[in-house]
Structure 1
Amino acid sequence: MSCSRRLHDDSESDDESVVSLPPFSAPPSSRGSRSSYDMSMRSASPTPSVWSMTSSIRAQAFRQEYGRGLNNYSEVYRLPADDEELDRLNQQHEMFVEVMGKYPPCLAEIMQDDVPGETKACLDLGCGSGAWIMELAREYPRCLAVAVDLVPMQSLTMPDNCRSEVDDINLGLEHFYGDFNVVHARLISSGIKDYMALIDQISRVLRPAGLMDIMEFDFHVYDHMPDGNHRRCDLPTSHIAAPWVARWMVFACMAVRNAGGHPDAATHLRQWVTSHPALENVVYHDYWIPVSPHAIFNDFQKHVGARMRDDILSFLKSGRPLLLGSGVPEQIVNELQRNAELELRTAARAQYVRVQRVYCRKKIS
């Protein structure tokens, strides 16, 4: 399908169509605001915690907002943590494993039982559905695996060597200093107020020669360019028009920033990690993941594009509380979502999201 397909019968083209909605002006940012709870409500880390998702715990951990279940502890992270979202994250995890593999190559070496008296330990920050940390716990049953998120991990099949802790990592990781051989974080920038400070915290959590593995995306969509220099769609929120997925993502970026998150952290990961004095052996990868199975892509790209399309279709629903809570009128959110869904389902544009990943080791001395 050509990129000029009309999304409205009365529009002139994808690039020129403007819906009959008033312009939207973003509200001022609340960046730097504190989380909605204090230090006394943190998990009693590092005491093992076993959660049974009773109705009382669910009521304490979640709040209903715009028809979705959000965490009840942080005003910064405003994406859902309900069953529908956890389903999306599980599917997303499988796609990422297909694209980039499960672990950095050095993880197997790090996890060897080669230090007398030391139990290898792995930490997953912002674990989401827990897919990554539970797989690791099963593959390394002698290690200790700790999953941290704003809500309890809800799996009924959690391995015995894995525990779930409820915490806001914006409050610091001092209680974990020197405890872990591996620290993993994936797509958590929307809930992090100071990502550079988080990298420093992770460096202190790691044991000597430990592994940090972090991955983020920048809340933008990129147009395909034949020379590989794919062009970022920098669009204003004052203009409600195609390209729709890219426009929706710009609104999401604005909403994350206004809630106090760090949506552009991906852009700086490499520099922050490379310049940190305690870290070395930095490996950086760019992954250009198609947003749909457009006709110009090869078979593998189409396969991954179909999976990413399904992920974004679900993300459009997950993002409603984020956009509505930031003050975007429901009429605009509905228009953005409806047209973005059509753009994705018809694979109307050859576009990507850019995922940036950095892994490195902590210096021995």
Structure 2
Amino acid sequence: MSDFSFRGDGAGGPLPGAGENDADGESVFSGITDAPSIYSFNSSRDGLALLRMIQGRTFNAQNDLYYLPADTTEFARQEKEHFAHLVGLGRLYVEHENVQQILSLVDGEHKRILDLGTGVGSWAIGMANEFPHAEVIGLDLAPNTACANTLPPNCRLEFDDFNLGLSHYYNSCDLVHCRIVAAGVKDFKWFINEVAKCLKPGGMLFIIDGDHNLLNSKKEMQDLAYGSGGPGQSWLARAIFEAAITLQKRGSDFDARMKLYELVSASPYFEGVGEHVYLFPVGPWEKGDTPAEHQQRQIIGILERQSMIDAVHSLKPLYIHEGYPAELVEQFLKGTEKELNELSVHMYTKWFYSFATRNSVPIQDQNEAPSVETNA
């Protein structure tokens, strides 16, 4: 169960740059129905319990499995990635008609949307604005506290670790959304079934994640850079590949991100399982067939380039902590910036948008959540 929950005053307006230096003592409160907690977040009082500093970056202090920052720089990167997906899809979600039907306003029905791994909170805020009659909850190990005063009145963000279970949301959600969470999941099979418990029959699950193997301009596996690198080789692809191996060794079920469709299909609690695959250019190198498509691909490319450069910087503490030589880490950083800024290597990121509908099969008792290392 979550110990900390905050919700803004509904002032609205654009999402500001997120950061750990939010004003102390801001009045925040929980959601419009029975929330798991009511709490006023105070950065100086609660920061030591919820956040920690590692190599000059702010990290969550609840769970050592997810070893990526939760600070101003990382939230800015997450927002760029969010906008890349928003431009790529043209909206916040796939399966538009189904989502509209599920979340339509019905007298006497309470609609609830749960965003797991909400991070900067952009997706949750967008959904709260699009569906003002629905309650939207963004859950994360360390969500963006800086947006507390600009959250829509029907939206709240919570500090929580979903690896510990989500019993306070069982059978209460119409839609559950999980984007780029694999690095923080111990057991994806367990996670999918735990999410199924949260959905009402007929509710929808969306799991989105990317392949850590980047593709070249021919949409084939990108060659990794080693040694001094070479023509057509990529330091970004090498950096992401090394991060994937390292996260998996640390206990993340990281490979699951490439078999989401199979994992959801294997669950007895879902029907109508499907998947959409998107390729995003990294950098503004790809041309579109029409002026509108060209503009779209250029915008996505610019956002993905910025996000990927920032991602390698966010991974630096992980590399150092796991014993990578400082010289190699510096090569990851400089090589990535050089090849992306010069557009010397043309690459795609590959994204899997998996979705399913909760069926009416009763959920049997399951084992407790998998053990996850936590920090006192």
- Cα displacement (A) at 1:303: 2.9
Task: State the Cα deviation string for residues 68-113 of structure 1 (Å, max 9, x = none).
Answer: 1111111100111001111111122111111012123111111123
1:140 is aligned to 131
Identity %: 28
The separation in 2 between residues aligned to 1:340 and 1:164, in whole angstroms, is 33
- Cα displacement (A) at 1:288: 0.9
Equivalent in 351, 359, 363 of residue 363 of structure 1: 359
Matched, 1:170 2:166: no
Equivalent in 68, 86, 92 of residue 102 of structure 1: 92
2:369 is aligned to none
SS in structure 2 of the partner of residue 141 of structure 1: coil
State the number of aligned residues: 320
Letter in 2 for 1:160: P
- Cα displacement (A) at 1:243: 1.9
The separation in 2 between residues aligned to 1:352 and 1:167, in whole angstroms, is 33
Name the CA shift for 1:256/1:234 in 2 (closer, same or farther; >3 Å): farther
* Aligned partners of 2:272 and 2:357 also within 8 Å: yes
2:317 is aligned to 321
Instruction: List gaps (5 residues or longer) in structure 2.
Output: 6-33, 362-376
2:335 is aligned to 339
The separation in 2 between residues aligned to 1:51 and 1:328, in whole angstroms, is 40
The separation in 1 between residues aligned to 2:130 and 2:288, in whole angstroms, is 34
Matched, 1:219 2:203: no
* Aligned partners of 1:220 and 1:232 also within 8 Å: yes
The separation in 1 between residues aligned to 2:298 and 2:174, in whole angstroms, is 37
- Cα displacement (A) at 1:267: 1.4
- Cα displacement (A) at 1:46: 3.7
- Cα displacement (A) at 1:234: 6.7
**Scaled by the length of structure 1, what TM-score is found?**
0.82
* Aligned partners of 1:296 and 1:350 also within 8 Å: no
- Cα displacement (A) at 1:296: 6.3
**Scaled by the length of structure 2, what TM-score is found?**
0.79
1:20 is aligned to none
C-alpha RMSD over aligned residues = 2.2
Task: State the Cα deviation string for residues 185-221 of structure 1 (Å, max 9, x = none).
Answer: 0001111111121111111110010011110012221
SS in structure 1 of the partner of residue 246 of structure 2: helix
Equivalent in 236, 258, 264 of residue 267 of structure 1: 258
Letter in 2 for 1:325: H
* Aligned partners of 2:84 and 2:299 also within 8 Å: no
1:180 is aligned to 173
The separation in 2 between residues aligned to 1:61 and 1:313, in whole angstroms, is 27
The separation in 2 between residues aligned to 1:189 and 1:176, in whole angstroms, is 21
Name the CA shift for 1:167/1:221 in 2 (closer, same or farther; >3 Å): same
The separation in 2 between residues aligned to 1:49 and 1:103, in whole angstroms, is 30
Task: State the Cα deviation string for residues 231-270 of structure 1 (Å, max 9, x = none).
Answer: 223759x856342111111111122112221222221101
The separation in 2 between residues aligned to 1:161 and 1:312, in whole angstroms, is 32
Letter in 1 for 2:104: Q
* Aligned partners of 2:113 and 2:134 also within 8 Å: yes
- Cα displacement (A) at 1:54: 2.6
Name the CA shift for 1:201/1:144 in 2 (closer, same or farther; >3 Å): same
Equivalent in 42, 47, 50 of residue 58 of structure 1: 47
Instruction: List gaps (5 residues or longer) in structure 1.
Output: 1-38
TM superposition outliers: structure 1 runs of 4+ over 4 Å: 41-45, 295-298
- Cα displacement (A) at 1:176: 1.6
Task: State the Cα deviation string for residues 16-39 of structure 1 (Å, max 9, x = none).
Answer: xxxxxxxxxxxxxxxxxxxxxxx8
The separation in 1 between residues aligned to 2:298 and 2:306, in whole angstroms, is 12
* Aligned partners of 1:259 and 1:326 also within 8 Å: no
1:17 is aligned to none
- Cα displacement (A) at 1:53: 4.1
The separation in 1 between residues aligned to 2:263 and 2:321, in whole angstroms, is 31
Name the CA shift for 1:219/1:42 in 2 (closer, same or farther; >3 Å): farther
Matched, 1:193 2:189: no
- Cα displacement (A) at 1:295: 6.0
* Aligned partners of 1:48 and 1:163 also within 8 Å: no
Letter in 2 for 1:185: C
SS in structure 2 of the partner of residue 293 of structure 1: coil
The separation in 2 between residues aligned to 1:49 and 1:84, in whole angstroms, is 28
1:311 is aligned to 307
2:26 is aligned to none
Matched, 1:353 2:353: no
* Aligned partners of 1:63 and 1:70 also within 8 Å: yes
